[in-house]
Amino acid sequence: MTTLHDAAAHTFASDNYAGAHPAVIQALADANGGHVASYGADPYTRRFSELVEQHFGAGATVHPVLTGTGANVVALQSLIPRWGAVICASSAHIYTDEGGAPERLGGLKLLTVPTPDGKLTPELVALQAYGWGDQQRPQPLAVSITESTELGTVYTADEIRALADQAHAHGMVLHVDGARIFNAAASTGASLGDLIRATGVDSMSFGGTKNGLVLGESVVALTPRAAEGLTYIRKMDAQLASKMRFVSAQFVALLEGDLWLESATHANAMATRLAGALSRLPGVTVTQRVEANGVFVVLPLPIVEQIRAVHHFYDWNRATGEVRLMCSFDTTAAHVDALVADVAAAIAAL
């Protein structure tokens, strides 16, 4: 097949733009060949299950799916009944970027709370955590947080534990959208188990494509309640992969050693390097704490399109001129320095 893209191209638009890590491609090749059982009855999915228990503790179960949105919908549907509602930040991916899937496909009302940094707190959750037994109000039965958040900030283990304790005290459950859970764990220095299982999380959408996978995500159930019905809901929501070995083998490549940590640590470090250099330029303002692999920044308006044409990135808030710059496992110091140099030259030419 003829290559149809520039294999040397790099942008700051999204960590989804990055290709697959070479070790993941090798894992797919290793999993290929011959016939093995389908729909998860294969040795790679069994190995993935073993690794999830190693990282998250005995009894944790994993259910590979096809997409991140699918993971969130399946996880939330398995946690609460149709009359349940989910409290989340107004910037949460399940609210802003999933085409209404949790509500349209999952049938679950989202109760949103504005946050300055993308993070919920018990005080913010309390703004929507009321009305149990009121037939006129969707019943708040779950809290969902994004780790790391859509604004690039990260919950500490203590912050997650406080939310889990509050949720459980009210008979609710805590779900984590872990699309960038690897970046969050690398940022905090906590193990995956200490950040998720030990803090009282009930269920997590376990992301991989933003950290070097080709495709595929998964749902990790951390309690029997979270696991109940997951296998049936996954099929009902069209998220059951027939050749599941290829989804699972990619996660095995990340989890068997330190590849997940190495890749996430590197992406985070590149974001820190980028934010530090940009913040020293006149007229540039970094708007959020840089704790994972995203940088949110306001650039001088006259240079935005000039820089975007070369490095490509997305607007985050057009009203304020804020843009989002994402680093990935394959972002290099040279990529970062080239962007900064172009911004500095454009500002100097104003």
End position of a domain, from candidates 255, 283, 317 = 255
pLDDT tier for residue 130 given thresholds of 50, 70 and 90: very high
Structure tokens at 22: 């070479």
Q: Are residues 133 and 272 in the same domain?
A: no
- Spatial contact of 310 and 172, defined as CB atoms under 8 Å apart: no
Q: Are residues 165 and 282 in the same domain?
A: no
Q: Report the pLDDT averaged over residues 24-35.
A: 98
Q: How far apart are CA 139 and CA 189, in angstroms?
A: 36
Q: Are residues 107 and 93 in the same domain?
A: yes
Q: Where are the beta strands (DSSP E) in the chain?
A: 61-65, 84-89, 109-113, 139-146, 173-178, 203-206, 217-221, 285-286, 294-298, 314-317, 322-326
Q: Are residues 229 and 267 in the same domain?
A: no
Q: What is the pLDDT of residue 269?
A: 98
Q: Are residues 235 and 268 in the same domain?
A: no
Q: Are residues 89 and 200 in the same domain?
A: yes
Report the domain count for the chain.
2
Structure tokens at 264: 């996430």
Q: Are residues 209 and 305 in the same domain?
A: no
311 vs 3, 303, 308, CA distance in Å? 21, 12, 5
- Spatial contact of 334 and 277, defined as CB atoms under 8 Å apart: no
Q: What DSSP character marks residue 161?
A: H
Report whether pLDDT(138) > 90: yes
Q: Are residues 232 and 267 in the same domain?
A: no
Q: Report the pLDDT averaged over residues 154-180.
A: 98
Share of the chain above pLDDT 90, in %: 98
Q: Report the pLDDT averaged over residues 22-33.
A: 98
Share of the chain above pLDDT 70, in %: 100
Q: Are residues 225 and 278 in the same domain?
A: no
End position of a domain, from candidates 196, 222, 255 = 255
pTM exceeds 0.75, yes or no: yes
Tens of pLDDT, residue by residue over 187-230, are: 999 999 999 999 999 999 999 999 999 999 999 999 999 999 99
Q: Are residues 165 and 216 in the same domain?
A: yes
Mean pLDDT taken over the chain: 97
Residue 8 is assigned to a structural domain of this protein: no
Rg (CA), the chain: 20
- Spatial contact of 145 and 60, defined as CB atoms under 8 Å apart: no
Q: How far apart are CA 208 and CA 178, in angstroms?
A: 9
Q: What is the pLDDT of residue 319?
A: 86
Residue 3 is assigned to a structural domain of this protein: no
Is the bond leading into 148 cis (omega within 30 degrees of zero)? yes
Q: Are residues 285 and 161 in the same domain?
A: no
HSE-CB at 163 with a 13 A cutoff on CA atoms is: 27
End position of a domain, from candidates 255, 283, 310 = 255
Report whether pLDDT(291) > 90: yes
Q: Which domain holds residue 275?
A: 259-348
Q: What is the pLDDT of residue 23?
A: 98
